[in-house]
Amino acid sequence: MLWTASLCVLWALSVQGAPMNKEKQKVLLISFDGFRWDYDRDVDTPNLDKMAKDGVKAPYVTPPYLTITSPTHFTLLTGRYIENHGVIHNMWFNTTTHEKKPYYQTQFVNEWWDNGTLPIWITAQRQGLKAGSLHFPGTASSYQGQVAMVREVEPLLYNYKNETAWQENTDKVMGWFRDQDLDFVSMYFGEPDGTGHKYGPDSPQRRDMVKQVDRTVGYIRDSAERHRLTDRLNIIITADHGMTTVYRNGLVEEITLSKIPGFSFSDLSFHLVDFGPSGMLLPKPGKLEKVYNALKGAHPNLHVYRKEELPERFHFTKNDRILPIVLFADPGYVINGYFPVQFNKGEHGFDNQEMDMKPFFRAVGPAFHKNLQVEPFETVNIYPLMCHILGIQPEVNDGHLSATKDMLVTSVRTKVSGGADYIKRAFTGLAAVAGFLTIVYVATMTHKLLKNKRKHKRSGSVKSLPVQEETKQTSF
């Protein structure tokens, strides 16, 4: 009977797909800021090529609008469009006091980040996993009183280009996985964004930086192997946005709001302009239509919307932090306020449907197919993919696992589904075992009863059995 029960347990668990003696899967999410989808086309990138051969590649992925650093990174962490997670800009601002904080200082404004949406670190930790983050936007904040278990925020004036620091940080993160048994880590590199801004996306300096990124990708995979993580670590590498060349030096008619007839900054209570190709305006009471009408159609490469009239595909309307008038320029143009103060040769922040705004995507590890190219998808879908591999129940999000499921190995999807789903399947499996054992027990007792009846009938002793005992036996 014991061996029968053991077989039943094995059978039930195999039917339910419960992971038996399998190591749990880990995920490393890496962002190389500003790595455009085609940056590997004019540079030899052997390590990125090998990663694609050993794993999965998408031709490109589409970030959310607004295509700037903090908002798009928070989408990676939450699976929510920017209007839903509320980190609508790199800069914290106050429309009453007119105060603005730059990118780095905004990292430490807790209420800017903690406004109702939980990043994957917190969700994972609440479901029994361990999570960490290194330099990723949003790392410095707490969320509903919780922070990433292991975290490191880069210091002020950090040198994002230092390749030696890149390698040291890589080994540090791999140590987190191995020595502290972390399940998820997000890791951020500030290049090639800085180089693309300063020198332009078509510059030799940008190409050299892509070579450095490629060397680092090779180092990351080597470090994972040295730390004996390759059999359970899944590495996802992507970016927040792309980059495009800015037109200047008399090549085009620049967009300068102060030069537009009928427009005056005195009609505004607050504005966010001079930060690339996008802007937002808060007109004074009663001045919205005047400001809107003055700007609408004033420049052929300037797009002006009341925020509620933005095309739905932008998902950049339903949030009180978004100001009433939204501006964005065509690729190559930036929006100046009183006079030009921007001198970058490369910029982002344009319409997310523009090809130059789209980043790259690679993934490798035991959860992923090998040598597979998948169709392009939105970066909002990376969050449910990571939750699935980790075996955790995602928070409410705007992504869909169906957008990425084809890149996953079927047996691994079953093996790593863990978390709440595993518990559910475990109970189901136990119920199956109990039911099967009941059937076996009933069949065994019935067989024994019939055997005894035949035996007593042959010996003529059936009539001597007490009625109570016979009833007791047959009651089973």
Q: Please list the active-site residues.
A: 69
Query: Could you tell me which residues come within 8 angstroms of residue 256 by beta carbon, excluding any fewer than 6 positions away?
Result: 336, 337, 338, 339, 340
Closest CA to 279 of 324, 319, 320: 324
Strand spans (E) along 255-407: 255-256, 268-272, 278-283, 302-306, 325-329, 335-336, 346-347, 361-364, 372-373, 377-378
Which residues partner with 335 through β-bridges? 255
User: What is the DSSP code (8-state) at residue 408?
Assistant: B
DSSP run (H or E) holding 186: strand 184-189
Q: How many CB atoms lie within 10 A of CB 412?
A: 18
**Residues in a beta bridge with 305:** 326
Q: Any idea what DSSP says for residue 95?
A: T
Contact at 8 Å (CB) between 414 and 17?
yes
Nearest to 182 by CA among 124, 222, 119, 118: 124
CB 367 within 8 Å of CB 99: no
Three-state SS for 443-476 is HHHHHHHHHHHHHHHHHCCHHHCCHHHHHHHHCC
CB of 277 closer than 8 Å to CB of 68: no
d(CA 12, CA 16): 6
Integer Cα distance of 141 and 387 in angstroms? 21
Number of DSSP helices (H) and strands (E) in the chain, helices first: 15, 20
3-state SS, residue 264: coil
Instruction: Give CA–CA dist 96/163, Å, rounded.
Output: 42
- Quote the CA–CA distance of 173 and 466 in Å, as a whole number: 76
By residue count, the chain amounts to 476
On whether the CB atoms of residues 217 and 269 are closer than 8 A, the answer is no
Distance CA 404, CA 397 (A): 15
